[in-house]
Chain A
Amino acid sequence: MEYDVVIGLEVHVQLKSESKMFCSCANEYGAEPNTNVCPICLGYPGVLPVPNIKMIQKTALAGMMIDCDVAKFSKFDRKSYFYPDQAKNYQITQADLPICLEGKIDISGKGLSGKDLPTKSIGVERIHMEEDVAKSTHFGNCTGVDFNRAGTPLMEIVSHPDMNSADEVYAYLTNLKQAMQYAGISDCDAEKGQIRCDVNISLKPKGAEKLGTKTEIKNLNSFRNAHASVEFEIKRQTKVLNEGGEIYQETRGWNAEKNHTYIMRVKESANDYRYFPEPDLLPVTFTDADLEEIRKEMPERPAERYNRYINELELPEYDAGVLTSEKAMSDYFDACVAAGAEAKATANWIMSELLRELNEANQTIADCKVKAEDLAKLLGLIAKKTINGKIAKKVFAEMFASGNDPEAIVKEKGLVQVTDKSAIEAFVDQAIEANPGPVEQYKEGKPNVDKFFVGQVMKLSRGKANPAMVIEMIKEKLG
C-alpha cells in the first residue's frame, strides 16, 4: 500500500546573545559548569526576571526573516513542571500569544538524497520565546546539572505539518538556519546545541483525509540525523501498517550509531503544565514604529542574494547555491567582488582552493587569515598574468598560512611570471637538448609528449614560465 507522509517540525534555536534572557549572566558556550550563574538564573528566593529586550526584538526579526506576522501584543507564561534542570520548577515561555505567527520557508532545488525537491512553501505556525533549561549530564549513578545554559534565550519555531519527505525536512532546516544566520539571530551551530529539532511524523493511506497516528522523534542534534531518522521512521511505520499493525502515539529517540529510532516513552496522558500568564513580566507590545525600526535591521535574505548572484553577477545556479548556503562565505564572496575581483573567478577560487584549505585546517571562514581584499588582489594578479594559476595556488597557500599580502609574497619570492620570449626560448631549448628520446617520440606522433616538455620547462623555470607561451614555443621548435 502507498502512503502519504505528513511531517511537522518543532525547532529550538538559541539566540545569539552576550547575556541571558532574564539576567545579566554571560551566555557563553563551554565555560566551566555553573560559573555563569546568579541568584536569578538559579531561582533564588525573591528574584524576578529582567527581560532582555534586545532578544525580544531579535525574535521579531527572526519572524520577519521568514515572513511571519509579528504580534503587537504578546505575553509570557509560566509552564510548571518539576525537574532539576529548571531552577524555578516553572519555565518562562509563551503559550497562547507568541511573538510571531504564520510565516513560511520556501524550498526548491535538489534534496540531500539527490532527488529533486518540489518547489513549495512550508508554513511556519509560530515562533515563541522561552528560557532554555540547565544542561543535565548523566554520569553512571548520578546526574550533573550545569546552570550555565539555564535562562539563556531560546526560540521555538513550530512548522505546519507541510513536509512530506526527509529531503523536505532537510531543506526546511537548511533554509531556516540560513535565514537565522543571515540576520545574525543565531549561528545555528548544531554541534554546540544552538539548533535542535523534534520531528512529528505520521502516515496515512495515499489521498486519505484523516491523519494517521503520529510519533515524535525528540532531540535531533543535526540535520543529517533529522534526515536519517525521518527516512527510518517512514520505513518503520510503512512496515508496521503493511503488516496490519498499529502506530502508537509515542515519543521516540534516534540512535545515530545504530541508525534507528527507539521508544523513549509512550504517551499515556497529556502532561498538565498549568500554563498561566507570568505575573512578573509585562506583556510584550510593539508599535508600528517599533516594528519599522526592527525591519530596518533585516539584511538581504538568502533567496534575494541567490537571485542577485544569478541575475546580476551571472553565476551558475550551483555556484550561487553553494556560496549563499553559509552567510559568512557569501559575505566573503561579496567583499572580494566589492574589492574588484571578477565574480566567477572569485566563486571558483572560494569553492575550490579556499574551502579545501579551510577543510584541511579544520577552520571556518571566520578563522580565515586571508582578507577578502587580498584574495581579490591575488585574483587580479592572475588576471593581469603577473603570475600563473599554479604559482597563484602556492601564493595562496602562503597567504592562508600567514595572512600576508599576495603582492608582497610574489615580490619577495620572485614569483612574477616569465613572459619574456627569449627567456622562455632558452628554457625550451634546454629541455629539448636534455631529452632526445622524447623528442623522437614527439616526432613519431606519440600523444601527450608535449605535456612532458611543458612540465620540463616549468621545472626549469621554477613554475614561473607562462604555460601558454611554452606550449606555443614547443610546437614551433619541434614542428
Chain B
Amino acid sequence: MGKNVVPEKFVSIAELSKKLVAGEITSVEICQSYIDACNATEADVKAFRVLDAEKILADAKASDARRAAGNALSAYDGVPIGIKDNISVTGEACGCASKILEGYEAPYDATVITKLKAAGFVCFGRLNMDEFAMGSSTENSAYDKTTNPWNTDCVPGGSSGGSAAAVAAGFCPATLGSDTGGSIRQPANFCGVVGLKPTYGRVSRFGLVAFASSLDQIGPLTVTVEDAAVLLDVLIGCDKMDSTTIPNQEGGFAAALSEETAPKKIGVPMSYIENEGLDADVKAATLKAIEQLKADGHEIVEVELPHADYAIAAYYVIATAEASTNLARFEGVRYGNRAQSNDLLEMYTKTRENGFGAEVKRRILLGTFVLSSGYYDAYYLKAQKVRTLIKQDFEKAFEKCDVILTPVTPSTSFEFGSVKDPLQMYLSDIYTISVNLAGNCAISVPNGEASNGMPIGLQFIGPILGEKELLQTAHIFEGLQKEAK
C-alpha cells in the first residue's frame, strides 16, 4: 500500500516573503527547513534529480547577507524555488532526465533563471521529469520514478512530475515546470497543487531545452493562485533572446487579485463534460465547481470547441515534427554521452540508441516520418490547418466569456505501470493539449478529492494574454473551495 507523505500545512511564497521582509525568518532557516523535509521523505517521493544542499545554503546565506545590509533584491529575496531538469542554470546539471545528457552542465542561465536570480530567488535543486518532457507520468525518466505524495503507488503525472510532487510533498514552496501539452497542469492536478501555463510568448523559452518549440512554455507550480501570480510577474517579458516572446507586456497579476471585479462570465464546453472517458468523480467535482461559481454570482455560458476532437492527433504531428529536429543536436559530439566508434555514422546511431529512452525514440521516429517528403502535406500541413481551426474555436468561444472552465484530465492519478498503451497515455492530455495548440493561457487549481483519496483539479483557460482574468477567476474559485471546507 502506498504512503501519503503530504504535509499538514503548506507555506506560500507570499507568506515566506512577508516573514523575510519582517525579519522574522532568514533564508538559511527557510532553506534548511525544506532540506529537512526532503531528508525526511524524498526517499519515498524521489522528486529531485539533483539536490545540492550545500550550494542552496550558500545561496541562502548570500541572500541573508544582502537583506541584512539593506540590499535585498526584492521582497522575495531568499525564497527557494525548485527547477525542472530541462531549464538551464549556470554550473548545474541540465539533463532532461535523459542518459544522453549525463555529465552535461549548463554553461548559461535561462532567461527565467536570470529573472529569478535578479529577484533573489534561490534555485532549489533539479526536478525529475519525463525524459525530454515527453510523457504524462514521469515514468519516462531515465532515472528514478517520482511518486505521487498523496499515494506513493501512484504516478505524479508528467512531464513536470518532479515539480508537482516537490510542491505537494512540501519540499519547496514553488517550482518551475514546462508545459507543451499539459505538462504543468496535468501533474499539478494529479498532485493537488496549482499549475499555470502562461500564454505562448509570455515567458522566454531561452534556456528551456526544447521539446516542441511552438508549444513549449515555462510556468510555475505553487500552493496558491497568488503565488502563481507572484511568479508570473517575475517571469514574464519580451526577451531579445527569444524572438517568439510578445512585446510590450504588462504585469501586475498579483496586485490584480485584490481588485474588485465584476462577476465573471465563465464558458463551459459541455462536450468536455459529457465525454464518455471522463471519470465519474471528476465529472461530479467539475459540475459541483460550476454550481459553486454560479452560486457566487458568476455567469455560466455554454461554449463550443468543435475541433477539440482533433487536437491530440494534430498535437502529436506538430510536437513530434519539431521534436525530431530539436533533439537532432544530441549526438555526443559536443556534450553529453558519446558512444565510441571509429565510424561517424555508427557513433551517431549508437549514441542515440543508448542515450534515448523508448518514448523519445518513438516520438523522433514519428516526427521524422511526418516531415518526410511525400508525407509533409498529409500530416504536418494538415495538422497546422487543424491548429488554426482550434485557435479560431477559442477566439469564437472567448467572444462569449472571460474564461473557460474544463476538467484538467479525464481521471485522477493512476498506479505505476497501469497505463501501458502509449495512445491511452496520450489521452490523459485530452483537455489540456488544445490550449497549447491555440497558445492560450490556462491554470489547474485543486478541486477536492476523489473517492480513492486522490486530488482532482479544475482547469480555467484564458484568452491570449488573458492571465489577469484567468488568475482572478482561479483565485475566486480557490476562495470558494476554502469556504466550502
Chain A residues at the B interface, C-beta cutoff of 8 Å: 39, 42-51, 78, 80, 82, 84, 87-90, 270, 272, 274-276, 279-282
A88 touches B329 (CB 8 A): yes
In the complex, what distance in Å separates the CA atom of A277 from the CA atom of B370? 14
Report if A46-B88 is in contact (Cβ < 8 Å); known contacts: A84-B344, A279-B214, A279-B322: yes
Instruction: Place the interface of chain B in its size category.
Output: 35 or more
B226 to chain A, nearest CB (A): 29
Select one of B86, B209, B344, B371 contacting A274, CB under 8 A: B371
In the complex, what distance in Å separates the CA atom of A51 from the CA atom of B206? 14
Q: List 30 A-B contacts (CB under 8 A).
A: A43-B334, A44-B107, A44-B334, A44-B335, A45-B104, A46-B86, A46-B87, A46-B88, A47-B206, A48-B242, A49-B243, A50-B240, A80-B324, A80-B328, A82-B328, A82-B331, A82-B348, A84-B344, A87-B329, A87-B334, A89-B325, A89-B329, A276-B321, A276-B371, A276-B376, A279-B212, A279-B213, A279-B322, A281-B243, A281-B244
- The proximity string for B residues 97-108 relative to A, scoring 1 for CB distances below 8 Å and 0 otherwise, is 000010010111
Instruction: Give the nearest-CB partner of B98 in chain A.
Output: A45
- The proximity string for B residues 313-335 relative to A, scoring 1 for CB distances below 8 Å and 0 otherwise, is 00000000110110011110111
Instruction: Give the nearest-CB partner of A81 in chain B.
Output: B328
B243 touches A46 (CB 8 A): no
The residues in B between 195 and 217 inclusive whose CB is less than 8 angstroms from any CB of A are 205-210, 212-214
A110 to chain B, nearest CB (A): 45
With A46-B94, A46-B207 already in contact, 16 other A-B pairs whose C-beta atoms are closer than 8 Å: A46-B86, A46-B210, A47-B206, A48-B241, A48-B242, A48-B243, A49-B243, A82-B328, A82-B348, A88-B325, A89-B328, A89-B331, A274-B373, A276-B321, A279-B212, A281-B243
The residues in B between 100 and 157 inclusive whose CB is less than 8 angstroms from any CB of A are 101, 104, 106-108, 110
Is B481 in contact with chain A by the CB < 8 A criterion? no
Is B380 in contact with chain A by the CB < 8 A criterion? yes
Chain A residues lying within 8 Å of B33, measured Cβ to Cβ, are none
B88 touches A276 (CB 8 A): no
A274 touches B331 (CB 8 A): no
A90 touches B328 (CB 8 A): yes
B371 touches A39 (CB 8 A): no
Report if A280-B329 is in contact (Cβ < 8 Å); known contacts: A46-B208, A49-B243: no
- The proximity string for B residues 324-366 relative to A, scoring 1 for CB distances below 8 Å and 0 otherwise, is 1100111101110000000011001000000000000000000
B107 touches A88 (CB 8 A): no
Select one of A43, A49, A274, A275 contacting B329, CB under 8 A: A43
Is B372 in contact with chain A by the CB < 8 A criterion? yes
Instruction: Give the nearest-CB partner of B322 in chain A.
Output: A279
B181 to chain A, nearest CB (A): 15
Instruction: Give the nearest-CB partner of B240 in chain A.
Output: A50
A46 touches B325 (CB 8 A): no
B187 to chain A, nearest CB (A): 21
A50 touches B96 (CB 8 A): no
In the complex, what distance in Å separates the CA atom of A401 from the CA atom of B371? 62
A45 touches B96 (CB 8 A): yes
Chain B residues at the A interface, C-beta cutoff of 8 Å: 86-88, 94, 96, 101, 104, 106-108, 110, 205-210, 212-214, 240-244, 321-322, 324-325, 328-331, 333-335, 344-345, 348, 368, 371-373, 376, 380
A51 touches B243 (CB 8 A): yes
A42 touches B334 (CB 8 A): yes
In the complex, what distance in Å separates the CA atom of A89 from the CA atom of B325? 8
Chain A residues lying within 8 Å of B344, measured Cβ to Cβ, are 84
B328 touches A45 (CB 8 A): no
Chain B residues lying within 8 Å of A272, measured Cβ to Cβ, are 372-373
Chain A residues lying within 8 Å of B321, measured Cβ to Cβ, are 276
Chain B residues lying within 8 Å of A281, measured Cβ to Cβ, are 243-244
A276 touches B331 (CB 8 A): no
A156 to chain B, nearest CB (A): 20
Chain B residues lying within 8 Å of A78, measured Cβ to Cβ, are 325
A46 touches B331 (CB 8 A): no
In the complex, what distance in Å separates the CA atom of A50 from the CA atom of B243? 7
Chain B residues lying within 8 Å of A51, measured Cβ to Cβ, are 243
9 interchain residue pairs of minimum CB distance: A89-B328, A274-B371, A279-B213, A279-B214, A45-B209, A46-B207, A43-B329, A46-B209, A88-B329
Chain A residues lying within 8 Å of B208, measured Cβ to Cβ, are 46
Report if A39-B328 is in contact (Cβ < 8 Å); known contacts: A45-B209, A272-B372: no
In the complex, what distance in Å separates the CA atom of A49 from the CA atom of B331? 20
B368 to chain A, nearest CB (A): 7
In the complex, what distance in Å separates the CA atom of A45 from the CA atom of B334? 11
Chain A residues lying within 8 Å of B244, measured Cβ to Cβ, are 279-282
In the complex, what distance in Å separates the CA atom of A270 from the CA atom of B373? 10
Chain B residues lying within 8 Å of A282, measured Cβ to Cβ, are 243-244
A23 to chain B, nearest CB (A): 10
B372 touches A274 (CB 8 A): yes
Report if A45-B88 is in contact (Cβ < 8 Å); known contacts: A80-B325, A274-B371, A281-B243: yes
B348 to chain A, nearest CB (A): 6
Chain B residues lying within 8 Å of A90, measured Cβ to Cβ, are 325, 328
A46 touches B368 (CB 8 A): no
In the complex, what distance in Å separates the CA atom of A363 from the CA atom of B380? 55
Select one of A49, A88, A274, A275 contacting B368, CB under 8 A: A274
B369 to chain A, nearest CB (A): 10
In the complex, what distance in Å separates the CA atom of A51 from the CA atom of B240? 9
In the complex, what distance in Å separates the CA atom of A82 from the CA atom of B345? 9
Instruction: Give the nearest-CB partner of B100 in chain A.
Output: A45
Chain B residues lying within 8 Å of A45, measured Cβ to Cβ, are 88, 94, 96, 101, 104, 106, 209, 329-330, 335
Instruction: Give the nearest-CB partner of B333 in chain A.
Output: A84
Chain B residues lying within 8 Å of A270, measured Cβ to Cβ, are 373
B106 touches A46 (CB 8 A): yes
Chain A residues lying within 8 Å of B213, measured Cβ to Cβ, are 279-280
Chain A residues lying within 8 Å of B333, measured Cβ to Cβ, are 84
Instruction: Give the nearest-CB partner of A89 in chain B.
Output: B328
A46 touches B110 (CB 8 A): yes
In the complex, what distance in Å separates the CA atom of A39 from the CA atom of B90? 12
Select one of B94, B205, B322, B348 contacting A48, CB under 8 A: B205
B209 to chain A, nearest CB (A): 4
Chain A residues lying within 8 Å of B324, measured Cβ to Cβ, are 80, 274
Instruction: Give the nearest-CB partner of B215 in chain A.
Output: A279
B364 to chain A, nearest CB (A): 11
Instruction: Give the nearest-CB partner of A271 in chain B.
Output: B373
A362 to chain B, nearest CB (A): 39
Instruction: Give the nearest-CB partner of A22 in chain B.
Output: B243
Instruction: Give the nearest-CB partner of A90 in chain B.
Output: B325
Chain B residues lying within 8 Å of A47, measured Cβ to Cβ, are 108, 206-207
In the complex, what distance in Å separates the CA atom of A145 from the CA atom of B324? 24
B375 to chain A, nearest CB (A): 10
Chain B residues lying within 8 Å of A80, measured Cβ to Cβ, are 324-325, 328, 371
Most buried by B among A272, A276, A282: A276
In the complex, what distance in Å separates the CA atom of A87 from the CA atom of B328? 9
Most buried by A among B88, B213, B325: B325
